[in-house]
């Protein structure tokens, strides 16, 4: 089916994959508004304060541990089967917190949710490579970042409303994945083995060092996600230290971040047509650096919110590139492996972020830590810009 990039999201296959992409943002953050209520409900249980906070990070750890198996299954058992299994498990384990009696059992269900997310992200990434090529694939990698951002706005907003009624009610939001299950079942067929529809015959001939290069791309993605995850993990405490209304400012900051990121990701396909990938990285990391520099000033509420918006734009600009590059490097028969590596890198960065950033903030404060992050991101931007310039000069000389 041939359609323009602008209408790509209307294609049934693309719609199924975008729905699957939007589910992954639900894994951690959906229950965040219910944490204080859950802590009160389970206050009599030993270690409740720690265990309740682990409910947010447990899926990330499970994803990292299970992603290699998810990649193996995706390449051997089939993309469709793995994706459908992941969505089924997502509904089962996601909603379990609404009715399980004990905190420990709820925590176990959160690890199960991480297994589901590993299956979904890995198979979904592989199917992007199988179904689409060239500019259409690049467009879809941008659209999936938009789907995650706008999905985050919807799901977290619903969770905030549900948590005002009961701390268990936000878990039922995971049942919305049944809509995704229906769409995937009807519109995400299994691609022909080792030959994606519309691929050229030579498309399966991968770069000879594809695995090492995918690992390098994933390492950069892990670093990027670790720095970006400073926003949801440290922003509430940053605003509290500044004397702002932490709940209101955090909601506004993360909401604006998601909104601006969702809009920015819609323009990735146009950027990719006009600029080399290295220059897109340079622009994205520059926006991230500006955002963290604004936060490092510890100034007005408006400046801090502007920083959050710039971080959202920067992250949405660089993120699609990791998937696009990895899918170009990997052979069609190993896209599940590439998807698993990318998935593990995303959640490794998320899991490690608070473990590294919290001691740094204790040592240098929010201003010093955010300024250091801004400096590191600026160096990444300069490095990507230099690489883009060298690439341009080589092409001009040729």
Q: Which of 138, 25, 63 is nearest to 339 (CA)?
A: 63
Largest CA distance in the chain: 72
Neighbour count for residue 278 (Cβ, 10 Å): 18
Distance (Å, whole) CA 312 – CA 42:
35
The predicted-structure confidence for 61-94, as pLDDT tens digits, reads as follows 999 999 999 999 999 999 999 999 999 999 999 9
DSSP code at position 45: S
The predicted-structure confidence for 129-157, as pLDDT tens digits, reads as follows 999 888 888 889 889 888 888 888 888 78
Distance (Å, whole) CA 316 – CA 265:
5
DSSP string, 183-221: HHHHH-PPPPTT--TT--GGGG---TTHHHHHHHHHHHH
CATH domain 1-191 topology = Growth Hormone; Chain: A; (1.20.1250)
The predicted-structure confidence for 229-261, as pLDDT tens digits, reads as follows 898 878 888 888 888 887 778 878 888 998 999
- Can you give the residue ranges of every domain in the chain? 1-191, 202-398
**Dihedral through CA 110, CA 113, CA 118, CA 120, nearest 10?**
-160
Q: Which of 263, 348, 276 is nearest to 312 (CA)?
A: 263
Q: Do domains 1-191 and 202-398 have the same CATH topology?
A: yes
Please report which confidence band the pLDDT of residue 199 belongs to, taking 50, 70 and 90 as the band edges: very low
pLDDT of residue 206: 64
Alpha helix locations (H) across the chain?
12-24, 26-29, 35-41, 48-77, 79-96, 103-131, 134-163, 177-187, 210-228, 230-241, 246-265, 268-274, 277-296, 301-329, 335-397
Structure-token pair, residue 245:
């209304």
Distance (Å, whole) CA 173 – CA 193:
35
- The structure tokens 């409740």 sit at 48
Contact 311, 228 (CB under 8 A): yes
DSSP code at position 243: T
Contact 335, 51 (CB under 8 A): no
The predicted-structure confidence for 270-304, as pLDDT tens digits, reads as follows 898 899 999 999 999 999 999 999 999 998 999 99
Distance (Å, whole) CA 85 – CA 167:
28
Cβ neighbors of 79 (< 8 A, separation 6 or more) are 123, 126, 127, 130, 188, 190, 191, 336
Contact 317, 271 (CB under 8 A): yes
The predicted-structure confidence for 318-375, as pLDDT tens digits, reads as follows 999 999 999 889 998 889 999 999 999 999 998 888 889 989 999 999 999 999 999 9
CATH, domain 202-398, list 1.25.40.10, 3.30.70.890, 3.10.129.10, 1.20.1250.20: 1.20.1250.20
Please report which confidence band the pLDDT of residue 28 belongs to, taking 50, 70 and 90 as the band edges: confident
Contact 319, 180 (CB under 8 A): no
pLDDT at 32 over 90: no
- Cα angle, residue 214 at apex, residues 209 and 216 outer, rounded to 5°: 100
High-pLDDT (> 70) share of the chain, %? 94
Q: Which of 130, 147, 128 is nearest to 138 (CA)?
A: 128
pLDDT of residue 377: 98
End-to-end CA distance of the chain: 36
312: exposed, middle or buried (C-beta count within 10 Å: 0-12, 13-18, 19+)?
buried
């Amino acid at each position: 089916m041939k359609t323009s990039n602008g209408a790509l999201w209307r294609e049934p296959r693309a719609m199924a994959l975008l729905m699957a992409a939007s589910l992954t943002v639900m894994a951690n953050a959906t229950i965040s508004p219910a944490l204080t209520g859950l802590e009160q409900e389970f206050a009599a249980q030993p270690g409740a304060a720690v265990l309740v906070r682990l409910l947010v990070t447990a899926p990330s750890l499970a994803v990292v541990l299970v992603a290699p198996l998810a990649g193996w299954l995706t390449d051997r058992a089939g993309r469709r089967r793995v994706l459908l299994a992941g969505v089924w498990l997502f509904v089962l384990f996601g909603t379990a917190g609404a009715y399980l009696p004990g905190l420990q059992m709820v925590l176990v269900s959160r690890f199960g949710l991480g297994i589901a997310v590993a299956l979904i992200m890995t198979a979904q990434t592989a199917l992007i490579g199988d179904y689409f090529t060239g500019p259409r694939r690049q467009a879809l990698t941008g659209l999936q970042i938009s789907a995650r951002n706008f999905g985050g706005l919807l799901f977290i907003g619903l969770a905030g409303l549900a948590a005002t009624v009961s701390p268990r009610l936000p878990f039922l939001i995971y049942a919305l994945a049944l809509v995704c299950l229906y769409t995937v079942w009807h519109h995400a067929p299994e691609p022909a083995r080792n030959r994606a529809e519309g691929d050229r015959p030579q498309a399966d001939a991968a770069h000879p060092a594809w695995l090492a290069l995918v690992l390098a791309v994933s390492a950069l993605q892990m670093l990027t996600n670790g720095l970006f995850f400073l926003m949801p993990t440290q922003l509430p405490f940053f605003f509290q230290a500044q004397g702002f209304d932490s709940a209101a400012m955090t909601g506004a900051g993360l909401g604006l971040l998601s909104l601006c990121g969702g809009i920015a990701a819609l323009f990735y396909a146009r950027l990719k047509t006009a600029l080399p990938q290295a220059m897109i990285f340079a622009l994205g990391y520059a926006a991230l650096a500006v955002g963290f520099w604004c936060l490092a000033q510890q100034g007005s509420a408006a400046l801090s919110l502007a920083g959050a918006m710039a971080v959202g734009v920067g992250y949405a600009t660089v993120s699609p590139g990791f998937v696009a590059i990895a899918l170009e490097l990997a052979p069609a028969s190993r896209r599940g492996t590439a998807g698993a590596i990318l998935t593990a890198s995303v959640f490794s960065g998320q899991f490690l972020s608070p473990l590294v950033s919290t001691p740094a903030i204790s040592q240098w404060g929010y201003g010093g830590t955010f300024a250091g992050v801004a400096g590191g991101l600026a160096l990444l931007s300069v490095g990507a810009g230099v690489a883009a310039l060298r690439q341009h000069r080589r092409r001009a000389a040729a």
